[in-house]
Every structure is written in structure tokens, then in C-alpha cells.
Structure 1
Amino acid sequence: MFRHHPGLPWPRLHRHEQVACPFCDALQPAPRLREGEAALCGHCGEELYRNRPRSLSRCVGFSLAAIFFMVLAHAFPFLTMEAAGNRTRLGLWESARALYLDGAFLLSILTVLFTIVAPAVLACGLLYVCAPLMRGKALPGTVTISRWIQLSEPWSMLEVFLLGFIVSLLKLGHLAEIHFETGLWALSAVVFCLAAALGGIDRRELWDRIEVAKLSS
């Protein structure tokens, strides 16, 4: 079953892939959808996947915003603590460096990978892949980068970092005077923008658009 938006052209290609319903596990054909359509399970009616209207535009916009806020998060500290006349400013890189100096080498490396490298790969990769697809183009390495995006998505743990940061604040609040800085709000905006960019386009739809762009070039 399909819900569609009238007046849009049918896709150029027809495929014979199958998809399993996430609710009842029924296996059924998975044709390409026009923009605005949703594929429904013919057995239970659960939505299988969707071609969201203006999905590429939203993905590109939120990816650009994530990169912008990421620059702010790295350029400014996210926390200032004052205690006993000492003033400490903390940022993402400073957090990793402090862990390294304390001897937690592995934790320092993981902090850099999960809070700096993985989010940057996601945002820049989505922009590299989706921006040309808006014009029906696929840049060199699009397939490889799309795979890297899918691999790095589960390892982007900025929200986990923020949650741990909040828990730490609850413990440090009575020991020092704490001031929130620009980096904290920028980091929160990065989490929101990445979630919106990743949620803006379906994986199956993304691979469909890449396939059509490569075959038409």
C-alpha cells in the first residue's frame, strides 16, 4: 500500500528489492517512491519507509547549522568554574587534554572520537552527499562517504557527553561557582541539528537518490 502526492513524476527506475516489515516481519516488494509517498505494509498497515518532501533541503540546512555550531563549540569554552580564587575554563579539547594529563589515555582518545570526530564526519558527510543530490548529482566517493555516515552515526555521542556533563554539574554545584558559556549552548544546538539532519531523510530514500544520480550522470 502507498500514500502518494499527486502530480509528481514517477521515478525513472524500477527495482525488485524486498523489505521486511519492522512490526510483523512480512516480506514484501520495496519499490521506489515519489516525493511525499509512504510505503505501508500490506499485511498489518505499518509504515515501512517514506520519501519525505524536501528531505534533502532539510538535511543540508541542518547539516550546515550543525557545522556552524560545531565551530562555535570548539572556539568557545562551555563552562567556567570559580573556587577559592581559582578560575577554570573548560571546553571539548580541554576536557580531552585534562583526561590525558590525568593518565586516562584511552578515555581521552574516546572522548575526541565520540564527541569531536564522529559528529564532524556526520555533519560534513551529510553535506557532501546531500547538497549535490539536490541537483541530481553524485560527487566522487559519495557511496563510500554514505557508508561512513552510517558507521559513524551510532558513535556520535554528544548527547551522552552532555548528559554526563549535567550529572557532573549536580555534583560540582556546591563546590564551585559555575557559569555556562557560549560553547555549551552551541554544543546543545549541534546535538539538535544533527538529530534533525539524520531524521530528515530515510536511509532507503538516500540510497535510492544516490543510485538514480549515479545512473543518470
Structure 2
Amino acid sequence: MLKFLHRQTWPRLRDRHHEVACHFCDSLHDVELIEEGQTAYCNTCGSTLYTNQPQSLERAFAFGLTGVLFLLGMLFLPFITMEAQGNNLTTSAGETVIRLWLTGGPIISVAVAIFIFILPFFQLASLIYLCLPLLSGRAFPGMVPVTKLMQGLQSWVMVEVFFLGTLVSLLKLVKLADITLGLGFWSMVGLMLSLAAAVGGIDKLELWDRIEVAYRRRKTPDVSVEGGVEC
């Protein structure tokens, strides 16, 4: 059921009627003010409509920056070390992509590069580009298409799939060689968690409201706004 509370911590335009549709049953609801840490639910099916995340922009921005660092670590730091019959092989995730290309697997190499490295980077970069100006209530050019890009990339980022594939491969390799997990592997785990925390750290409704207010204020500085603090 939709809970009616007295304040919210993100700003929204006072002169616009705010509505939200349930993602599961398409029921239309008025967007009511909810307190920080509270959630609004669909009156029809009980699904979550939106959540007022505490310090959402700061958390999303911090996890976005952390995710970029983990992505770089995954690319360049030693991923695994294999030792068998006196031979040692240490490789990073970036070197693995190059090896796939050189050993006759260009399609797989390109797919791994796109879905595991390039798209996650664009998703994190998009989030940082959005949060950085919104923390001070400002708007950067192209924030609407960047937001759509960030949300559209969620279905195509496959770090979790790569992680599961790596675990399956390691279970087979441990029977043939001694395996040591390097910092690159743990960077992949950190990237996976940072992506989930960064993208899930800010509610979509809040993000669009903040962007709308920032754009309107750039044109009309004294625009009427309701809600709580800026960040």
C-alpha cells in the first residue's frame, strides 16, 4: 500500500503533476512525498514503486568511482597464476582477451571485451557523469540521453556471467594445475559488487526528478521546488 509521509530528501518541481506506473501491473499512482529510507508500494499488486534511498547520490557516485578502479585492476592486475609440471603462467583479464584474439577466437575476444569491460565502463562513467553535477543541483549537457544509456546498459553488462564462467573453469583447472587467485580476480568480485551497489543506489524516479529540477533551474533560477535538501 502507498504510504503518505511528510517530507522527502530530493527536490522535485512543484508545478508538475507527478505519477508513476507499476512495473508489474501498470497501475498508475500519484507520487507522494516519502521520508528517507521509506518505500512506496503499489496499491494493486503490492510491488515496489520507488524508494527514497538515504544519501543516494553520494553512495552511487562513490560506488561508481570504486567500480572504475576495480575495472582497471581487473584489466591489468594478475588474474590467476597456474603452475603445472614446473611451468608457471600468470595472466590478467586484459591479456586473456588478447590471447583469445591471437589463438583464433576473435568473436569471443570481442564479445568479452564489449560485455565485460567496455559496457561496464560506460555504465559507470554515465553514472558518474550524472551524479557529479546533481550533487550540487547543476545540470550537464546531455543528461537525459546519458540516463537512458545507463539504464539501457543494465541488461547488457555481463560481469556476473563472466564471474560464474570463471568459477566453472577454475573448478576444472584445479585438477590439472595449482591455481593462485590474483588481485585481478578479486578486483572482478569488487567490480561486480560495486556495479550492483552503484546502479541500485539511486532510485530511477529520484534521478529523473533531480535532472528535471536541475534543467529547469538552469533556465529559471527561482523555479518553485518542493521536497527536501539537494543531496
Pairwise same-fold verdict (TM > 0.5): yes
CA distance in 2, matches of 1:7, 1:161: 39
Matches within 5 A, 1:116-127: 116-127=117-128
Q: Match of 2:227?
A: none
Q: Name the SS of the counterpart of 2:209 in structure 1.
A: helix
Percent identity (aligned): 40
Q: Match of 1:128?
A: 129
RMSD over equivalenced CA pairs, Å: 2.3
CA distance in 2, matches of 1:61, 1:144: 22
Matched-pair contact (CA < 8 Å) for 1:4–1:38: no
Aligned length: 217
Q: Match of 1:205?
A: 206
CA distance in 1, matches of 2:158, 2:37: 31
| Long gaps (5+) in structure 1 | none
Matched-pair contact (CA < 8 Å) for 1:15–1:32: no
Q: CA deviation at 1:85?
A: 2.4
Q: Match of 1:41?
A: 42
Q: Match of 2:177?
A: 176
Q: Match of 1:152?
A: 153
Structure 1 length normalisation: TM-score?
Answer: 0.89
Matched-pair contact (CA < 8 Å) for 2:92–2:184: yes
Relative to structure 1, is the Cα distance of residues 170 and 54 closer, same or farther in structure 2, using a 3 angstrom cutoff?
A: same
| Long gaps (5+) in structure 2 | 219-231
Q: CA deviation at 1:156?
A: 1.2
CA distance in 1, matches of 2:63, 2:94: 24
Q: Match of 2:224?
A: none
Structure 2 length normalisation: TM-score?
Answer: 0.84
| Higher RCO, 1 vs 2 (CA within 8 Å, ≥6 residues apart) | 2
Q: Name the SS of the counterpart of 2:12 in structure 1.
A: coil
CA distance in 1, matches of 2:8, 2:110: 52
Matched-pair contact (CA < 8 Å) for 1:14–1:31: no
Q: Name the SS of the counterpart of 2:170 in structure 1.
A: helix
